[in-house]
Amino acid sequence: MSTPAKVVLDGLSLTREQVLMIAHGTPVALAPSALKRVQHAADFLAEQVRREEPIYGVTTGFGSNADKLLGGHRVRDELPGGNPEPRSESLLEELQHNLIITHAVCVGDPFPAEVVRAMLGLRINTLLRGHSGIRSSSLQALTDLLNAGIVPVVPMLGSVGASGDLAPLSHLAIVLLGGGEAFYRGERLPGAEALARAGLQPLRLSFKEGLALNNGTTLMLALGVLALARMQQLLATAEVAAAMTLEAFAGRSGAFVEDVHALRPHPGQVATAARLRSLCAGSTLVDIPYHLVPRFRSWLPESWHEPSDQAHRFDICWDYVPPGQRHGREKFYQRFLPFKGGKKHQPQDAYSLRCVPQVHGAVRDAYDQAGRVIDIELNAVTDNPLVFPDRVGARQIEDQVISAGHFHGMPLALVMSYLKAAIPVLASISERRLAKLLDAATNDGLPPFLIGNEDATDSGFMIVQYTAAAIVNDLATRAHPASVYSVPTSANAEDHVSMGANEARHVLEMTADLSRVLALEIYTAAQALEYRQDMLNAARTLAARGEVVHFIEKISNPPREDSAGYAQFRAEVVQLMQALAERAAFSPSPSVLAAWSRVRAHIRFMHRDRAMDADVREITRLVADGVFADLG
C-alpha cells in the first residue's frame, strides 16, 4: 500500500499513524468543509468585536489581566509626548501579537524536527474544529509553513502544561509572525529569513489568533504520540528478548498457557502470554526433560576424543543420583532419569521468566491506556475560550464564547506518569533475565559470564550486566511523576498546572534507555542460546555414537566399576544416551532462530574476550531500528 502524498486534516479524524507521517515529512492538506467551519467562527467573533462585547483574551487581557477591558488605543497616546513606540495595529491586534512574542521564552536545546512537525500538524488539526476563532487564511499560513519545510526552533524547557504548552507553542507561532528562529533546509536562521527563503510572508494576527495558536496541549501530545510509537516497538522487542532468554534457559512454557491466563484476564497479560506462545512455537529447547540438559564444564585437551569435537568451546557433564539417594523420590525417577545436569528439578522458572505475562502485560496495559487518552486528544479542542457561533439557546455572549479548561494537560500528564513508571519496570525485568544468564548459580548450566575461560583470562559478558544495571538505576531515579507537583503561575490565576510537557518529554527520552537495556539482553541471550544449543547437540551427537565409555566420562561422579551398583549405573547411562540420540537436533523456535540470526548477521559469537564496544553499538542500533519487533 503506497503512502498518500498528503495527510488531509479535518479536525475530526486524525490518527497517531498520520501524526507520525507528518512528523517524518509528509505534507498536509486542509479539508474544505473544515475551513468553512473555521471561517464561520472567525466571522462570528469579528461581529462580536464590532458590537464591543466583552470577550476574554479578545477584548480583555489574559490571565491575571482578565478583568481589564481594552480601549480603542493606548492610554499613553493621549499624554504629552505620545507613545515612544507607536504601533500600526489596533490594540486588539497588538494584544495577540504581544501574547506570542512575550511567551516565547523557553530555554535549552531545540526539540528534534520530528517533534516540531508533529506539533504543527496537531495544532492545525485542532484549529480545524472551528471553535477557536482563527481565520481560515491564518490557518492556511500555518499549513504553508509546515509544508514548506520550515521547522521553528522550540527549546525543550518552559511548559507547565496549563494553559497548555504556552511557551513552546509561542516559539512555534513566532516564526509565523517573522520572529524567532527556524531550521530551513538544515540551516538555523532568523524566522523572517526562513520565511523569505521559502517565499512566505509574515502573518499579522487578528482577534484571538494568538490564543488560538499558543493555548493548548500540543507539545505534550506530540511527545506522547512519538513516545507511544517507540513503546509499541519496544514492547514487541521486549517479548522477543524474553522468548530468546527463555529458550536459552531451556525454560518451561506452562506459565504461558491460555487456560492459565483465562483465570486472570488482564488484556495486556493475555496478549503477552499469547505472543510468547507464538514466539516459542516449534522450539525443541523449551520444556526439555531435566535429565537431558547437560551443564557446562571447562574445556580440557582430553575433553573430546574425536578430532571434529575439538572445535567445541566447552565440555559437558552430569551428576549421577545413586539409588541410595532416591528414597522418597522413586516415582520422580521413574519419569526422569537419575542425572542432574543444567536444569534444576523444579517445575517452575524464576519470576523474571515465569512472570513475563504479568509484568510485560501490565506495561502493555499502561501503554494501551495512554493510547486511549491520546486518541481522544488528537481530535480535541484544547484552547480557550471556546467559540460556539451556532449554540442553541444562547442569550448572551458568555453562552457562545465560553471560558473553560480544555488547555489543562492533566489527562495526558497522568497517563504519561503511568507510562513513565512502567518503563523502568520493563527495563528492570530485562536486566534481571540478563543477570541470570551470566551467573553460574542461576543460569541452569551455562558457563559463567557466558565464556569458556579455560585459561582464566576472560571476563566474557560480565560488564554488559553492569551497563544494564546502571541504566535501570537511572531510569528508576527519573520515574518520579512530574504530574504530582504543581507550581502555580500567572500570579496564581493559573494555580494548578499539569507539568504534562515535562512528563511526556521524560517518557520519550526514557524510551531510548529502555531500548538500550533490551538490546543488551538480546545481545547476551544470543550468546547464551548458542551455548545451550551447541551443548545439547554435542551431547546428542556423542550419545548417538554409542560409545558408552566415552559418555561415562561426562558423568562427574560415576560409581566404581567394581561396585555393586555399577551395572545399574551403566544401564541408566545407556538409557540417557538413547533418550538423547532419539531426539531431533535441538533448535529454538523459528521466530527465536530468526532473532538470533539477525544478531549473528552483524555480531559474531564471542569465543574469547574481545573489544565489545562495537558489538554494543551495533545491537543498540538494531533494536532502535525495530529489527526484532516484527517477529512472531
User: Per-residue pLDDT tens for 215-243?
Assistant: 999 999 999 999 999 999 999 999 999 99
Residues 161 and 252 in one domain: no
pLDDT reading at 258 higher than 70: yes
Average the pLDDT over 129-139 and give the result: 96
Residues 419 and 519 in one domain: yes
Residues 107 and 244 in one domain: no
Q: What is the pLDDT of residue 272?
A: 98
Average the pLDDT over 540-566 and give the result: 95
pLDDT reading at 1 higher than 60: no
**Can you list the pairs that 442-445 forms with residues at least 24 positions away whose Cβ atoms lie under 8 Å?**
442/350, 443/249, 443/528, 444/249, 444/250, 444/293, 444/295, 444/342, 444/343, 444/344, 445/293, 445/294, 445/295, 445/296, 445/341, 445/342, 445/343, 445/535
Among 176, 194, 216, the domain boundary falls at 216
Lowest mean pLDDT among 160-169, 484-493, 499-508: 484-493
Average the pLDDT over 412-432 and give the result: 97
C-alpha cell at 45: 467573533
The per-residue DSSP string of 303-366 comes to S--SGGGGG-S-EEEBEE--GGG-TT-HHHHHHS-SEE-SS-S-S---HHHHTHHHHHHHHHHH
Give the number of other CB atoms < 10 A from CB of residue 80: 4
If we measure between CA atoms, which residue out of 266, 173, 279 comes closest to residue 594? 279
Among 216, 239, 254, the domain boundary falls at 216
- Angstrom distances, CA of residue 165 to CA of 110, 162, 220, 222: 15, 6, 7, 11
Residues 595 and 539 in one domain: yes
Residues 180 and 265 in one domain: no
Q: What is the pLDDT of residue 271?
A: 98
Q: What is the pLDDT of residue 89?
A: 62
418 is catalytic: no
Q: What is the pLDDT of residue 263?
A: 98
Q: What is the pLDDT of residue 49?
A: 87
Q: Does the residue 398 lie in any domain?
A: no
Residues 494 and 544 in one domain: yes
If we measure between CA atoms, which residue out of 170, 162, 203, 206 comes closest to residue 57? 206
Residues 171 and 269 in one domain: no
Residues 180 and 285 in one domain: no
Q: What is the pLDDT of residue 42?
A: 95
DSSP 168: H
Residues 451 and 354 in one domain: yes
Beta strand ranges found along 72-172 (DSSP E): 107-110, 150-152, 155-157
pLDDT reading at 3 higher than 80: no
**Can you list the pairs that 325-332 forms with residues at least 24 positions away whose Cβ atoms lie under 8 Å?**
none
Lowest mean pLDDT among 59-68, 133-142, 227-236, 308-317: 59-68
Confidence of residue 74 (pLDDT cuts 50, 70, 90): low
- For residue 464, give the CATH number of its domain: 1.20.200.10
Q: Report the phi/psi class of residue 81: left, alpha or beta, with left for phi > 0 and alpha for psi in -120 to 50.
A: left
- Angstrom distances, CA of residue 99 to CA of 114, 270, 327: 26, 50, 85
Domain that holds residue 20: 7-76+87-216
Angle at 15 (CA atoms; ends 12, 17), nearest 5 degrees? 155
C-alpha cell at 443: 543460569
Bigger pLDDT: 402 vs 627? 627
Among 187, 216, 245, the domain boundary falls at 216
The per-residue DSSP string of 469-512 comes to HHHHHHHHHT-S-GGG----BTTTTB-----HHHHHHHHHHHHH
Q: What is the pLDDT of residue 163?
A: 82
Residues 269 and 313 in one domain: yes
Q: Which residues contact 442 (CB under 8 A, 6 or more apart)?
A: 350, 435, 436
Q: pLDDT averaged over the chain?
A: 94
pLDDT reading at 393 higher than 90: no
Residues 166 and 238 in one domain: no
Q: Does the residue 534 lie in any domain?
A: yes
User: Per-residue pLDDT tens for 171-186?
Assistant: 999 999 999 999 999 9
Q: Does the residue 305 lie in any domain?
A: yes
Dihedral sign for Cα 444, 450, 454, 458, please. negative
Q: What is the pLDDT of residue 91?
A: 83
If we measure between CA atoms, which residue out of 235, 149, 234, 225 comes closest to residue 186? 149
C-alpha cell at 588: 529454538
pLDDT reading at 246 higher than 70: yes
Q: Does the residue 397 lie in any domain?
A: no
Q: Does the residue 549 lie in any domain?
A: yes
Q: What is the pLDDT of residue 489?
A: 84
Q: What is the pLDDT of residue 488?
A: 85
Q: What is the pLDDT of residue 107?
A: 98
User: Per-residue pLDDT tens for 79-120?
Assistant: 666 666 655 567 888 889 999 999 999 999 999 999 999 999
If we measure between CA atoms, which residue out of 345, 375, 364, 335 comes closest to residue 426? 364
Q: Does the residue 245 lie in any domain?
A: yes
d(CA 350, CA 439): 13
pLDDT reading at 151 higher than 90: yes
- For residue 51, give the CATH number of its domain: 1.10.275.10
Average the pLDDT over 565-576 and give the result: 96
Q: What is the pLDDT of residue 87?
A: 57
Confidence of residue 512 (pLDDT cuts 50, 70, 90): very high
State what percent of residues in the chain have pLDDT above 70.
96
Structural domain count, the chain: 2
Q: What is the pLDDT of residue 419?
A: 97
Q: Does the residue 40 lie in any domain?
A: yes
Residues 210 and 252 in one domain: no
- Angstrom distances, CA of residue 194 to CA of 38, 98, 181, 456: 27, 21, 8, 62
Q: What is the pLDDT of residue 490?
A: 81
